[in-house]
Amino acid sequence: MDRFVTSADADPTPIIALYHQSICVKQVLHTMTKYVFVTGGVVSSLGKGIASASLAAILESRGLKVTLIKLDPYLNVDPGTMSPFQHGEVFVTDDGAETDLDLGHYERFIGTRMKRTNNFTTGQIYKSVLEKERRGDYLGKTVQVIPHVTNEIQEFIKRGAADVDVAIVEIGGTVGDIESLPFLEAVRQMALRAGPNNAAFVHLTYVPWIAAAGELKTKPTQHTVQKMREIGIQPDVLLCRADRKIPDDECDKISLFTNVQLAGVISMWDVDTIYKVPRMLHEQRLDELICMKLQLLTKSADLRRWDRLVHEVAHPQSEVTIAMCGKYTDLSDSYKSLNEALRHAGIHNHARVKIEYVDSETLTEDNVTQLAKFDAILVPGGFGKRGVEGKILTAQYAREHKIPYLGICLGMQVATIEVARHLAGLEGANSTEFDPDTKHPVIALIDEWQDRDGTIQKRTANSDLGGTMRLGAQSSDVAPSTLAHQIYGKVVTERHRHRYEANEHYLDRLREAGLVISAITQREKLTEIVELPQTVHPWFVGVQFHPEFKSTPWDGHPLFTSYVKAALDHQRAAQAEKVAA
pLDDT in tens, 111-158: 999 999 999 999 999 999 999 999 999 988 999 999 999 999 999 999
Question: Which one of 3.40.50.10480, 3.30.450.40, 3.40.50.300, 3.40.50.880 gives the CATH number of domain 316-443+500-580?
Answer: 3.40.50.880
Q: Is 215 a catalytic residue?
A: no
How far is CA 108 from each of CA 105, 275, 443, 557, rounded to the nearest angstrom?
Answer: 5, 10, 33, 12
Kindly provide the b/e burial profile for residues 12-22, where b requires at least 16 CB atoms within 10 angstroms of the residue's own CB.
eeeebeebbee
Dihedral angle, C-alpha 429, 431, 435, 436, nearest 10 °: 110
Q: Is 18's pLDDT higher than 60?
A: no
3-class secondary structure, 219 = helix
pLDDT in the model for residue 452: 52
102 pLDDT band, cuts 50/70/90, is: very high
pLDDT digits over 204-248, tens only? 999 999 999 999 999 999 999 999 999 999 999 999 999 999 999
Q: In this predicted model, what pLDDT tens digit does every residue of 312-333 receive, in sequence order?
A: 999 999 999 999 998 876 666 7
Q: What average pLDDT does the segment 37-59 reach?
A: 95
Kindly give, in sequence order, each residue whose CB lies less than 8 Å from that of residue 237, ignoring residues fewer than 6 positions away: 200, 201, 202, 203, 260, 264, 265, 266, 286, 289, 290
Residues 6+ apart with CB under 8 A from 222: 254, 257, 258
Hey, which residues does 493 pair with through a beta bridge?
Answer: 475
> Is 409 designated active site?
yes
CA-to-CA distance for 326 and 307, rounded, in angstroms?
34
Q: Would you say residue 29 has pLDDT above 50?
A: no
In this prediction, residue 19 has a pLDDT band, given cuts at 50, 70 and 90, of very low
| Start and end residues for every CATH 3.40.50.880 domain found in the chain | 316-443+500-580
Beta carbons within 10 angstroms of residue 421's beta carbon: 18
Banded pLDDT at 60 (limits 50, 70, 90): very high
Q: Is the pTM of this model over 0.85?
A: yes
Q: 60, 107, 185, 548: which one is catalytic?
A: 548
6: pLDDT strictly greater than 60: no
Q: Is 548 a catalytic residue?
A: yes
Closest CA to 191 of 29, 30, 19, 34: 34
- Sign of dihedral through CA atoms 12, 14, 16, 20? positive
For the ranges 92-96, 186-190, 466-470, the maximum mean pLDDT occurs at 186-190
| Helix (H), strand (E) at residue 559 | helix 558-580
Question: Average pLDDT of 371-396?
Answer: 93
> Is a pLDDT exceeding 90 seen at residue 277?
yes
Among 409, 496, 498, 557, the active-site one is: 409
Q: Mind spelling out the 3-state secondary structure of 386-450?
A: CCHHHHHHHHHHHHHCCCCEEEECHHHHHHHHHHHHHCCCCCCCEECCCCCCCCCEEEEECCEEE
CB 313 within 8 A of CB 46: no
Question: pLDDT above 70 covers what percent of the chain?
Answer: 90
Main-chain phi, psi angles of 321, to 5 degrees: -115, 125
| pLDDT tops 70 at residue 28 | no
Give the C-alpha separation, 171 to 155, whole Å: 15
From the list 87, 203, 496, 546, the catalytic residue is 546
Q: Which amino acid, 137? A: D
Query: By percentage, how much of the chain surpasses pLDDT 90?
Result: 80
Map residue 313 onto helix, strand or coil: helix
Alpha helices in 441-524 (DSSP H): 483-488, 507-512
Question: From residue 187, how far is each of 70, 225, 227 by CA, in Å?
Answer: 13, 16, 15
Mean of pLDDT values over 279-293: 97
- The per-residue pLDDT for 105 is 95
b vs e for 458-481, b when ≥16 Cβ sit within 10 Å of the residue's Cβ?
ebeeeeeeeeebbbbbbebebeee
Q: In this model, does residue 449 exceed pLDDT 80? A: no
516-520: average pLDDT: 95
Q: Where in the chain is the domain with CATH 3.40.50.300?
A: 3-308
CATH code of domain 3-308:
3.40.50.300
pLDDT band at residue 349 under the 50/70/90 scheme: very high
